């Protein structure tokens, strides 16, 4: 874990907890916030949406009362939201946390959002409406297959049903002839904040077990009703309903899948996504990886945050 390039003494200190879904990031972030006198900044592309609570494993009211959370419920489900917007809001939240002399504990599995905030975005070509229209006609599966051929790293980092982001990544390649991941690499700057990156990577069988158990808990908590309500209020075509769990249950409610098959596919696709998340974060420099968060030595983090004895 290394300190970022930011040297301003007033800059927020950031401890970022990264890793695949169901790896224990939220629990560790709560622990770190308590130990380091911090507040949590969510780096999850679905938790930004109001009404997507159960299926995103959004922190409970009790957890939010224990530790202040930022960047939850900042957009409506039918609102356009981007990594650039996230980075803007994260800067404001981090400054707010730092103004109280507290530490920012960033938590989430959306690697693109975290990277956009910590490292900045690269200048990209303007969107081409004709290309976007063609991609919509082709559909997410076809666009993803073509993106996989030219930029497998980008394809791995985007949810299979997220046509908007898949289209954008392929569009950049079609416009420039260069994969979007390569453009990001060329434009990569030093970290914008002093930061420690803590990665969680449980053994794969345990991770898969956690993924399945968590989805069962979501179902028991009323995820089907949550999806039904989102469709009723916003229609079936809003982008968040293409997210894991939501997409499969939307298909069930539309009569396209039996419920048990929707659940099976949701678990399977979430396990696959967890592997892709791990691949993404493994490519990030300066991440200190841990299988067991309980074995994490907190003393170096305390010293980094100015909380050491």
2 — pLDDT class (breaks 50, 70, 90): very low
Average pLDDT over residues 99-108: 95
Percent of the chain whose pLDDT exceeds 70 = 95
Domains of the chain, by residue range, sit at 14-120+189-304, 129-185
Half-sphere exposure (CA, 13 Å, Cβ side) for 51? 20
Place of tokens 């874990």: 1
Does the pLDDT value for residue 5 go beyond 50?
A: no
What are the residues whose beta carbons fall under 8 Å from the beta carbon of 163, sequence distance 6 or more?
A: 135, 136, 139, 140, 143, 242
Q: What is the pLDDT of residues 114-144, one digit of tens each?
A: 988 998 877 778 888 899 899 999 999 999 9
At residue 14, the pLDDT reads: 97
Q: What is the pLDDT of residues 198-255, one digit of tens each?
A: 999 999 999 999 999 999 999 999 999 999 999 999 999 999 999 999 999 999 999 9
Q: Is CATH 3.30.470.30 the classification given to domain 14-120+189-304?
A: no
1 — pLDDT class (breaks 50, 70, 90): very low
Using alpha carbons only, what angle is made at residue 217 by residues 237 and 228, rounded to the nearest 5 degrees?
Answer: 25
At residue 309, the pLDDT reads: 57
Does the pLDDT value for residue 39 go beyond 80?
A: yes
Residue 160 and residue 232 in contact, taking contact as beta carbons nearer than 8 Å = no
The model's pTM: 0.82
Please identify, in words, the CATH class of the domain defined by 129-185: mainly alpha
> Rounded to whole angstroms, how far apart are CA atoms 224 and 211?
17
What average pLDDT is seen over the chain?
91
Q: What is the pLDDT of residues 7-31, one digit of tens each?
A: 455 678 999 999 999 999 999 999 9
Half-sphere exposure (CA, 13 Å, Cβ side) for 56? 25
At residue 123, the pLDDT reads: 72
What are the residues whose beta carbons fall under 8 Å from the beta carbon of 113, sequence distance 6 or more?
A: 43, 44, 45, 83, 86, 87, 90
> Rounded to whole angstroms, how far apart are CA atoms 197 and 29?
12
**Structure token pair of residue 148:** 């996989």
> Rounded to whole angstroms, how far apart are CA atoms 217 and 235?
25
Does the pLDDT value for residue 306 go beyond 50?
A: yes
Average pLDDT over residues 48-70: 97
């Amino acid at each position: 874990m290394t300190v970022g390039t930011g040297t301003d003494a007033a800059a927020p200190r950031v401890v970022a907890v990264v890793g695949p879904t169901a790896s224990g990031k939220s629990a560790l972030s709560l622990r770190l916030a308590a130990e380091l006198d911090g507040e949590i900044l969510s780096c999850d592309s679905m938790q930004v949406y109001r009404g997507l609570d159960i299926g995103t494993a959004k922190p409970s009211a009790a957890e939010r009362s224990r530790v202040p959370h930022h960047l939850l419920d900042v957009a409506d489900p039918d609102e356009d939201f981007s990594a650039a917007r996230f980075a803007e809001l994260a800067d404001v939240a981090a400054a707010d946390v730092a103004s109280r002399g507290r530490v920012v504990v960033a938590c989430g599995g959306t690697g693109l959002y975290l990277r956009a905030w910590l490292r900045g975005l690269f200048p990209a070509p303007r969107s081409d409406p004709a290309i976007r229209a063609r991609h919509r006609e082709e559909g997410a599966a076809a666009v993803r297959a073509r993106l996989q051929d030219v930029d497998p790293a980008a394809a791995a980092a985007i949810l299979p049903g997220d046509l908007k982001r898949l289209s954008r990544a392929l569009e950049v390649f079609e416009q420039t002839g260069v994969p979007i991941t390569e453009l990001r690499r060329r434009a990569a700057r030093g970290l914008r904040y002093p930061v420690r990156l803590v990665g969680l990577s449980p053994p794969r069988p345990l991770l898969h077990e956690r993924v399945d158990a968590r989805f069962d808990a979501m179902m028991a908590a009323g995820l089907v009703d949550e999806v039904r309500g989102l469709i009723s209020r916003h229609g079936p075509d809003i982008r968040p309903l293409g997210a894991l769990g939501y997409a499969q249950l939307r298909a069930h409610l539309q009569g396209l899948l039996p419920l048990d098959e929707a659940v099976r596919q949701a678990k399977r696709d979430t396990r696959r996504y967890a592997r892709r998340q791990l691949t993404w974060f493994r490519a990030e420099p300066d991440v200190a990886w841990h299988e067991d968060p309980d074995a994490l030595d907190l003393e170096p983090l305390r010293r980094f945050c100015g909380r050491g004895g």
